[in-house]
Amino acid sequence: MAQVCLHFNCLPEEVIEDELNDYLAGLALSAKSPSRSAFKHSVYGLRYYYRYVGLPTRAVKLPSLKKDARLPDILNKAELKKLFVAPTLLKHRILLMLIYSAGLRSSELINLKIADIDFERSSIHIRRSKYNKDRIVPLSLYMAVGLQKYLALEQPLTWLFNGKLLGSTYSSKAIAWVMREAVKEAGISKSVTVHSLRHSFATHLIEDGLNIITVKDLLGHSKIETTMVYLHIAQCPLIQAHSPLDTLYPQQR
């Protein structure tokens, strides 16, 4: 329990469900993962705590340890195209597309303000995200067009995605609902969540040839080990690989 509080710098009930489960899965994959018995007691302790504070429906998954741990499910590019056209509302389509486009956590999307979108510099300023660190990520040109249409239609005030009440932010539960409905409408059978869009973002960047250090920085990870899991998921064709000797003697190729 204390380890979770120290890692997220907040109480367990303030941690987004997907992020907690990703943290536990990452801990299970790491070389420093605890014994199976200790790990189970930690998860069971979290479940008891959530019941105690009146959140009995919070799902805390018990991942397998180390080599047995499952890799996160991701969506392929064809599935993403279906997903992004599934919602009826433009707001919902833009919301899902932006999470994937910038590799955002749900909490980061919720806290985005209109002023954080810099159309001139084609960038997004993510402020005080996990570990209270700011970072700048690229704004896709395609995403920029969609955002401008959304802003013209919805005319939000301060927050990029307003909640139901005036001046309130969107909620993580609402984002999760949008994702579930879109997955259902798109006919996707994989067990995916909102956080799967972030997993897909990282995996596709690696498959497209981006180096792991840059992917780490774009995701806002504090440790490279957290990013390394995507190397196990990415399907990089061997045909793209070559011997360094070929670049040493390029004229002989």
Residue with tokens 């067990």: 191
What's the Cα-to-Cα distance from 244 to each of 45, 210, 252, rounded to whole Å?
51, 18, 13
Residues 172 and 107 sit within 8 Å (Cβ to Cβ)? yes
- Helices 172-186 and 77-85: crossing angle in degrees, nearest 10, is 110
pLDDT-derived band at 240 (thresholds 50, 70, 90) equals: low
130 is a catalytic site residue: yes
Taking the C-alpha atoms of residue 86 and residue 187, their distance in angstroms, rounded to an integer, is: 9
Q: Identify the CA nearest to 205 among candidates 194, 218, 189.
A: 218
Provide the pLDDT for residue 55: 78
Provide the pLDDT for residue 26: 67
Taking only the tens place, the pLDDT of each residue in 169-178 is 999 999 999 9
221 is a catalytic site residue: yes
Provide the pLDDT for residue 32: 53
92 is a catalytic site residue: no
Q: 73 pLDDT exceeds 90?
A: no
* Catalytic one of 195, 199, 204, 216: 195
Residue 129, C-beta contacts closer than 8 angstroms, at least 6 positions apart: 105, 107, 108, 111, 135, 220
Residues 153 and 90 sit within 8 Å (Cβ to Cβ)? yes
Provide the pLDDT for residue 96: 98
| Higher pLDDT, residue 196 or 3 | 196
**Percentage of residues in the chain with pLDDT exceeding 70?**
78
* Catalytic one of 130, 199, 204, 216: 130
| Higher pLDDT, residue 50 or 5 | 50
Provide the pLDDT for residue 186: 98
**By three-state DSSP, how is residue 12 classified?**
helix
Provide the pLDDT for residue 67: 46
| Higher pLDDT, residue 177 or 40 | 177
Assigned token pair, 189: 């059978």
Q: 31 pLDDT exceeds 60?
A: no
Taking the C-alpha atoms of residue 27 and residue 34, their distance in angstroms, rounded to an integer, is: 8
pLDDT-derived band at 248 (thresholds 50, 70, 90) equals: low
* Catalytic one of 92, 93, 198, 199: 198
Provide the pLDDT for residue 24: 73
**Encoded amino acid at 209, one letter:** G
Taking the C-alpha atoms of residue 135 and residue 123, their distance in angstroms, rounded to an integer, is: 10
* Catalytic one of 50, 100, 170, 230: 230
58 is a catalytic site residue: no
Domain 77-233 class in CATH? mainly alpha
| Higher pLDDT, residue 62 or 181 | 181
Provide the pLDDT for residue 68: 47
The mean pLDDT of 190-212, rounded to a whole number, is 92
Q: 237 pLDDT exceeds 70?
A: no
The mean pLDDT of 230-244, rounded to a whole number, is 66
Show me where the domains of the chain are located. 2-68, 77-233
Strands (E), 12-171: 117-118, 123-126, 135-138
Residue 182, C-beta contacts closer than 8 angstroms, at least 6 positions apart: 83, 86, 87, 92, 96
Range in 45-59, 171-185, 217-231 the model is least confident about: 45-59
pLDDT-derived band at 47 (thresholds 50, 70, 90) equals: confident
The mean pLDDT of 209-224, rounded to a whole number, is 88
| Higher pLDDT, residue 45 or 174 | 174
* Catalytic one of 92, 93, 105, 216: 105
Taking the C-alpha atoms of residue 174 and residue 10, their distance in angstroms, rounded to an integer, is: 22
Taking the C-alpha atoms of residue 166 and residue 156, their distance in angstroms, rounded to an integer, is: 10
